Amino acid sequence: MSDSKIIHGSAWVFGDEINTDTMAPGAYFKEPMEVMAQHCLEAVDPDFAANVKAGDIVIAGNNFGVGSAREQAPMALVYLGVGAILAESFSRIFYRNAINFGLPLLIFPQAKEIKAGQLLEVNVLEGVIANATTAKTYKVEGIPEHLMHMVDAGGLMPWLKEKYEQSE
């Protein structure tokens, strides 16, 4: 297992019911991902896409990723360099799409305790979230190892390609 299981970044905090339409606005579907990603979450935080840094961590409430099954939503977050998403709960199709694109997610019941800008360290395999700002540590269920292999590979398609090449 690689070091991709440990993620360091600043928290970007969002509420409940963050819709895939806000992550990948339909007005930009015909544009390349670099254009669409510039508009990711702008309806709820106009500064997000311009200021999120590689490894930063999205924190959210209930049902993150609700709405359409558009794959562009997790793709935009991956393009922007988001290291992980921690939420109280996820839409099932968003959860699967995110894993398919190599974006780790953890169910984090204490999400509302995190404030924007706090520095976090997340071990996604072990489910340990350390808040360096408050010195508080949380334990949640980590990503199962078999899914972590897919995340490490960069998502489902790179993982399948790796598996196929190994079998030849």
* pLDDT, tens digit only, all 168 positions of the chain: 445 689 999 999 999 999 999 999 999 999 999 999 999 999 999 999 999 999 999 999 999 999 988 899 999 999 999 999 999 999 999 999 999 999 999 999 999 999 999 999 999 999 999 999 999 999 999 998 888 888 887 877 878 788 778 777
Residue listed under structure tokens 């990603």: 37
**Could you tell me the pTM of the whole model?**
0.91
Alpha-carbon gap, residue 52 to 47, rounded angstroms:
8
Q: What residue numbers bound the domain in which 10 lies?
A: 3-167
With beta carbons less than 8 A apart as the criterion, state whether 67 and 91 touch. Answer: yes
Alpha carbon separation from 25 to 49, 86, 98 (Å, rounded): 13, 22, 17
Give the CATH number of the domain where residue 153 resides: 3.20.19.10
Specify the number of domains making up the chain: 1
C-beta atoms surrounding 36 within 10 Å: 23
- Cα dihedral 62→5→56→139 (10° resolution): 50
Residue partners of 76: CB distance under 8 A and separation at least 6: 23, 24, 33, 36, 37, 40
